């Protein structure tokens, strides 16, 4: 089977798409992984408010 120029271009394009997809996926994963969970920060803020104002907590 002779590898035609069109076939090689198609394979190269697919490889390029896979590499770009991996790069984007890894970078998005790093950015999302660095974000702090908002539920924890809200819980911390609530506990600080209750510590500063003990009369709020019935």
pLDDT at 4: 93
pLDDT at 56: 63
**Total structural domains within the chain:** 1
- What's the DSSP call for residue 50? H
Instruction: Domain of residue 36: give its range.
Output: 2-52
Residue 28 forms part of a structural domain: yes
CB of 56 within 8 A of CB of 49?
yes
CA distances from 7 to 3, 14, 16, 19, 25 (A): 6, 11, 14, 18, 27
pTM: 0.51
pLDDT at 45: 86
Cα separation of the two ends of the chain: 81
More confident residue, 15 or 50: 15
Residue 57 forms part of a structural domain: no
Confidence of residue 1 (pLDDT cuts 50, 70, 90): low
pLDDT digits (tens, 9 = 90+) for 18-57: 999 999 999 988 888 777 666 777 888 888 888 887 776 5
């Amino acid at each position: 089977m002779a590898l035609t120029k069109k076939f090689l271009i198609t394979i190269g394009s697919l490889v390029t798409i896979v590499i770009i997809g991996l790069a984007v996926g890894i970078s998005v994963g790093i950015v999302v992984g660095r974000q702090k969970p908002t539920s924890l920060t809200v819980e911390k803020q609530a506990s600080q408010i209750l510590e500063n104002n003990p009369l709020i907590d019935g």
